[in-house]
């Protein structure tokens, strides 16, 4: 019998979940055993999972879970270097030569466990079956606009916190933008036809910001892209991959540009394939932007857990997409699980050489 162990998230400011109580009830009805760790931060209360039939375990107890249990979480595990003996479902961020990713793969090899990376649960055509992308784009565009409003007062974006819901976010953002007394900035979104880009464009439209929406057709020539520098805000919604064009070269820090805010929602500064060459590290909720130039300012927003700024909407949306895939865990050697396992074995073997 499949045993899914839903761990509490240990990362600060991470209130999301990948499964709702309704999803737990469905898995139990399918014959699965489900354990959910208690969490004071999860957007959905623990007692709702108990009412759905889940067994409740103490927060952070997953290392003592039965050997056959599948540990399911979203973001990083505690970086304590311990070997990992279980099969894990999570966003590993470990297949693009990221330094932390190599350490994670080493831990799996040391413990005999395995990673099913949520980013690589795909259908036969390679399309992701579940993603937080829409809400990442939505929240990333929101923080980018917060950075712009701060600049209008000659400041820099201060700490951010989760909004109660989408309506609260929009009301807050519109009020801040109106208070600047300035016309709405111009924004360009690259990757506008994907989930991330649609979310970013929708947020801009909802706040009255005119958007230039680009996708593959507009970037196929490979660059350079001076048009990006002609907008006040650029939102990157394209993942770093081999052959990706450079949208913002290192030279873009020079004066003579309208661009003052970059929202790198894809947020992969450690990758050699990053299309944004003016920064080298992620930002955080405490310090949402990195100022990389002055006169005029250029701030880069690169928060890597943006959907957590709207934890309720993003959790419900993602959990609904993922539930059919979780139900297929009854046969973990087939379909998306088999493909994700093969990908893990390939990268773990390569990293060991």
Closest of 283, 267, 284, 286 to residue 275, by C-alpha: 267
Query: 262: buried, middle or exposed (CB in 10 Å: 19+, 13-18, 0-12)?
Result: buried
| 41-49 own/partner pairs: CB under 8 Å, 24+ apart | 41/8, 41/9, 41/14, 41/15, 42/8, 42/9, 42/15, 42/16, 42/17, 43/15, 43/16, 43/17, 43/311, 43/312, 43/315, 44/17, 44/20, 44/315, 48/21, 49/6, 49/21, 49/24
205 contacts: CB under 8 Å, gap ≥ 6:
211
Whether the CB-CB separation of 127 and 191 falls below 8 Å is answered with no
**Residue 75 annotated as catalytic:** yes
Closest of 173, 186, 279 to residue 235, by C-alpha: 186
Tokens of 150: 């701060």
**Number of other CB atoms surrounding residue 192 within 10 Å:** 22
What is residue 246's DSSP assignment? P
**Residue 41 annotated as catalytic:** no
Longest dimension (CA), the chain: 63
Tokens of 126: 């390679």
Catalytic residue among 75, 96, 193, 277: 75
Catalytic residue among 86, 88, 93, 231: 93
Binding residues: 127, 194-195, 215, 219, 265, 303-306
Binding residues for NAD(+): 127, 194-195, 215, 219, 265, 303-306
Whether the CB-CB separation of 311 and 41 falls below 8 Å is answered with no
What is residue 222's DSSP assignment? -
Would you please indicate which residues are annotated as catalytic (active-site) residues? Answer: 75, 93
């Amino acid at each position: 019998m499949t045993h899914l162990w839903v761990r509490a998230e240990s990362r600060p400011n991470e209130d999301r979940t990948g499964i709702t109580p309704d999803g737990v009830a469905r898995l139990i009805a399918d014959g699965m055993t489900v354990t959910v760790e208690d969490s004071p931060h999860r957007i959905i209360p623990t007692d709702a999972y108990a009412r759905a039939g889940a067994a409740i375990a103490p927060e952070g107890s997953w290392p003592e879970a039965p050997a056959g249990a599948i540990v399911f979480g979203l973001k990083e595990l505690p970086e304590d270097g311990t070997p990992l003996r279980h099969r894990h479902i999570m966003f590993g961020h470990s297949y693009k030569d990221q330094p932390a990713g190599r350490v994670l793969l080493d831990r799996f090899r040391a413990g005999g466990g395995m990673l099913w990376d949520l980013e690589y649960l795909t259908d036969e055509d390679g399309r992701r079956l579940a993603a937080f992308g829409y809400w990442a784009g939505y929240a990333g565009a929101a923080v980018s606009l917060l950075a712009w409003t701060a600049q209008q007062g000659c400041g820099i974006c201060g700490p951010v916190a989760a909004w109660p819901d989408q309506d609260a976010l929009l009301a807050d953002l519109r009020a801040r933008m109106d208070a600047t007394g300035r016309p709405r900035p111009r924004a360009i979104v690259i990757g506008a036809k994907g989930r991330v880009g649609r979310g970013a464009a929708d947020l801009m439209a909802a706040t009255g910001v005119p958007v230039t929406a680009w996708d593959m057709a507009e970037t196929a020539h490979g660059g350079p892209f001076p048009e990006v520098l002609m907008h006040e805000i650029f939102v990157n919604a394209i993942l770093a991959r081999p052959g990706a064009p450079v949208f913002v070269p290192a030279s873009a820090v020079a004066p003579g540009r309208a661009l003052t805010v970059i929202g790198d929602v894809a947020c992969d500064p450690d990758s050699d394939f990053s299309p944004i060459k003016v920064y080298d590290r992620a930002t955080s909720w405490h310090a949402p932007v990195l100022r990389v130039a002055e006169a005029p300012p250029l701030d880069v927003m690169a928060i890597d857990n943006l959907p957590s700024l709207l934890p309720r909407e993003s959790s419900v949306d993602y959990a609904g997409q993922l539930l059919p895939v979780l139900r297929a865990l009854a046969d973990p050697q087939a379909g998306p699980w088999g493909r994700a396992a093969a990908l893990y074995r390939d990268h773990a073997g390569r990293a060991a050489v």
